[in-house]
């Protein structure tokens, strides 16, 4: 099976993007995991498979697969990549699109400056919707790891996020504490873990350990979750610049009951085809 693809990135979060509208594409978990390998495959954080819309309100549907072959429900950086891809490939000429995933539907706008703004929807804060094994909704939760109690925020942006506020982003234990929190029994579906340093109420620095991937250069839903968690704790303003290792995103959230908006870039790296 010859599969044409486009390699894209959004502030360092990289993707293999495949058009499954023009051609049938069927990949199993093992094949996806091999394609994600950066020495023996194409290399990516997530595979994005673009499909025909599944309901009349959407322009396109896309599925998201992590590097280990597991399927994710949402990907903010990936949504920007999809919006740019379908426009550049001539699959649509709209500047405003409605994209659906397995867990969310997003409105996207291609701005005049080339950046893309996405309505990421309302954050889910109730423990049963994250999912999180706590009985009551709270601004922070205490979770013990190796005998140490950590105060974390917990948010779902279509996938579960755990957010810790730290003093120094450079020394954050992303690759040691990250997987332990990600796979903690309190998170039955695992979680993406964000380590957030607050520069001031309008700017934060963030590193994210993504479930099924490890630390990535950027995580769009993680940036949204971090701002929501910070806002709930009274630490951040409505509009926040989030600087990740791969670049910056701009997140806006007015508070409970409102949608989260994310603005950032998406770029094509190269195109090719691979024999699977």
pLDDT means over runs of 10, the chain (276 residues): 95 96 93 96 96 94 95 90 96 95 92 94 97 97 97 96 98 97 97 98 97 91 97 98 97 97 96 94
Tell whether domain 2-120+265-275 is in CATH 3.10.310.10: yes
Cβ(203)–Cβ(240) below 8 Å: yes
The pLDDT value given to residue 240: 98
Spatial separation of the C-alpha atoms in residues 118 and 220, rounded to whole Å: 10
Number of residues assigned to the chain: 276
The pTM is what? 0.89
75 catalytic? Reply is yes
Q: What are the extents of the domains in the chain?
A: 2-120+265-275, 127-258
Q: Which of 175, 201, 218, 159 is nearest to 14 (CA)?
A: 218
Domain 2-120+265-275 and domain 127-258 have a common topology: yes
Fold of 127-258: Diaminopimelate Epimerase; Chain A, domain 1 (3.10.310)
Of 25, 50, 75, 223, catalytic: 75
The pLDDT value given to residue 73: 85
219 catalytic? Reply is yes
Which residue pairs, CB below 8 angstroms and at least 24 apart, start in 24-28?
25/49, 27/3, 27/65, 27/276, 28/69
Of 116, 219, 227, 228, catalytic: 219
Spatial separation of the C-alpha atoms in residues 107 and 246, rounded to whole Å: 24
């Amino acid at each position: 099976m010859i599969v044409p693809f486009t390699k894209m990135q959004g502030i360092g979060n990289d993707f293999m993007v495949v058009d499954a509208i023009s051609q049938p594409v069927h990949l199993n978990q093992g094949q996806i995991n091999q394609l994600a390998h950066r020495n023996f495959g194409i290399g990516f954080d997530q595979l994005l498979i673009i499909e025909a819309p599944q309901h009349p309100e959407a322009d396109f549907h896309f599925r998201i697969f992590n590097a280990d072959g597991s399927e994710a429900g949402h990907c903010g950086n990936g949504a920007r990549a999809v919006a740019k891809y379908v426009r550049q490939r001539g699959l649509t000429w709209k500047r405003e699109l409605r994209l659906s995933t397995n867990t969310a539907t997003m409105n996207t706008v291609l701005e005049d400056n080339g950046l893309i703004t996405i309505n990421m929807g309302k954050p889910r804060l109730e423990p049963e919707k994250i999912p999180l094994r706590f009985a009551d909704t709270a601004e922070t939760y205490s979770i013990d790891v190796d005998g140490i109690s950590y105060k974390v925020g917990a948010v779902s942006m279509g996938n579960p996020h755990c957010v810790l506020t730290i003093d120094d982003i450079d020394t954050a234990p992303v690759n040691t504490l990250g997987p332990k929190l990600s796979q903690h029994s309190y998170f039955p579906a695992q979680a993406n873990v964000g380590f957030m340093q607050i520069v001031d109420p309008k700017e934060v620095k963030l590193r994210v350990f993504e479930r099924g991937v490890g630390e990535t250069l950027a995580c769009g839903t993680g940036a949204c979750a971090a701002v929501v968690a910070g806002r709930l704790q009274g630490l951040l303003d409505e509009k926040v610049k989030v600087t990740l290792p791969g670049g910056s995103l701009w997140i806006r959230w007015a508070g409970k009951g409102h949608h989260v908006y994310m603005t950032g870039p998406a770029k094509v790296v190269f195109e090719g085809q691979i024999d699977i």
